[in-house]
Amino acid sequence: MMDSMPEPLDAALTEVRALLLDPALTRAVAAGRRRGQRPSVVRAELRPVTLKAGPRLQISTSDGARPYTRNVAPGAEAGAAVDELLAEPFGNWHVETADSTLQLRVTKSGEAQVHRAVASRPAPEQGGHDRAKDWLLDPGDPLFAEIGGSAAKRRQVDAFLRALAATLPDDLTGPLRVVDLGCGNAYLTFAAYRYLAQRGLDVELVGVDVREDQRRRNTELAGRLGWADRVRFVAGTIADAVVDPAPDLVLALHACDTATDEALARAVRWGARWVLAAPCCHHDLAAQLRARPAPAPYELLTRQGILRERFADVLTDALRAGLLRLHGYRAEVVEFVDSAHTPRNLLIRARRTGSAPTDGQRAEYRELIDQWGVTPRLETLLAAAGQTRA
């Protein structure tokens, strides 16, 4: 972002107006208030939508109690609606287009402090083509100039969001509460918000990470993006962090080792409708397998260290999917991204069905763990939470 000297407010708002009416607009938010003044709504959000009737500018306002959304036609109708909003004494405007981000803050003396950022397109990946249609989120989206991240991370996150797109029903409407567990730098958190909001969903997202420094950094970033009221961060463990109300959708990308089990157990406890968890390293079962001989005739599977580790990976995720099934979820394990981008490229994708497990499913799970003499961490966590169905 480039800082600048305060500018005359009228000229800056004229620039905002042009961006709001520009076909390249992706999203804009007005919020806050000028000194001694109070807008008639606490917040306004604008975004382009495509309806059966054609392109429209969607304007959602909130009076603090309830939201109000209307869709206005491009041209005179949109111009008039935008002028009404620009006349409100909002303290901040945050406007994003495909090419730029503009952030305007009205100073105490009534001038405009404007930050402008040009979206920088990431360099194409080596040996690959970087066409917009290869991505779910445009890599030129100004969001990425803010959140940074390597090309590999961006590719992982985009692929993760594609899996999310394939999981959520097309006709999903209504508020969607989302949590990203073990969010780290929050690349996925912010990208998920962008994707879900672009779908026109009323999204609230919470990122959880044990690191307080990440919470501070991510919270500040959410403010810079103008999303502070929609994307929040909590410092705490996946098992215990306060997330209220319970989320509908749980995301976890590479939460370390058994943190993935914590994420799955928490999702079950919340009764989340959808869970997408891409596991990271799997040390827990590998250590258990090392500690005892394999049952006959599987000794050859675990004698070599590397094979034992890989087998532990497979066994861990198979048991996770099996446990989710025993707790009313339809779970599948898929490759969400090419292994060239990350060796940790499996995704456990689950949808709550509420179905009670059959005796056969219970027996299948129990025989497998008894035979190997292992206790998956997820089973322990679910039992501790009183969710024993295995």
Ligand X SMILES: C[S@@+](CC[C@H](N)C(=O)[O-])C[C@H]1O[C@@H](n2cnc3c(N)ncnc32)[C@H](O)[C@@H]1O
Please report how close the Cβ of residue 125 comes to ligand X at its closest, in angstroms.
18
- Residue 94 sits in the site that holds ligand X (CB under 6 A): no
Which CB, 253 or 289, lies closer to ligand X?
Answer: 253
Member of 39, 48, 142, 184 binding ligand X (CB under 6 A): 184
233 binds ligand X (CB under 6 A): no
* Cβ atoms of 316 and 259 closer than 8 Å: no
349 residue type, one letter: R
Listed in order, strand segments (DSSP E) in 201-267 are: 202-209, 231-235, 249-253
Per the omega criterion (within 30 degrees of 0), is the bond before 297 cis?
yes
> Does residue 256 touch ligand X according to CB under 6 A?
yes
Report residue 177: phi and psi, to 5°: -100, 130
Residue from the set 219, 237, 345, 361 that interacts with ligand X by CB under 6 A: 237
Among the listed ranges 103-111, 129-137, 184-192, 346-354, the one in contact with ligand X (CB under 6 A) is: 184-192
Minimum separation from the CB atom of position 337 to ligand X (A): 12
Which of 93, 144, 187, 372 binds ligand X (CB under 6 A)? It is 187
**Position 248 contacts ligand X (CB under 6 A):** no
Span interacting with ligand X, options 124-132, 167-175, 185-193, 382-390, rule CB under 6 A: 185-193
Q: Which two tokens stand for residue 41?
A: 């709504």
Q: Collapse the DSSP code of 84 into the 3-class scheme (helix H, G, I; strand E, B; otherwise coil) and give the result.
A: helix
E strands along 63-157, which residues? Answer: 67-72, 92-97, 100-106, 112-118
Spatial distance between the Cα atoms of 154 and 121, rounded to a whole number of angstroms: 12
| Number of residues counted as binding ligand X (CB under 6 A) | 19
Choose between 179 and 312: whose C-beta lies nearer to ligand X.
179
What are the structure tokens assigned to 19, written together? 């961006």
- How far apart are CB 331 and ligand X at their closest, in Å? 20
Side-chain-side CA neighbours of 202 within 13 Å: the count stands at 12
The partner residues of 295 in beta bridges, in order of sequence, read none
Query: Does residue 294 interact with ligand X by CB under 6 A?
Result: no
One-letter amino acid at 156 equals: Q
Closer to ligand X at the Cβ: 73 or 281?
Answer: 281
> Is 259 near ligand X (CB under 6 A)?
yes
Using left for φ > 0, alpha for ψ between -120 and 50, and beta otherwise, residue 328 falls in left
From 15, 45, 141, 209, residue interacting with ligand X (rule: CB under 6 A):
209
210 binds ligand X (CB under 6 A): yes
Given the rule CB under 6 A, which residues bind ligand X? 182-185, 187-188, 208-211, 237-238, 253-256, 259, 262, 280
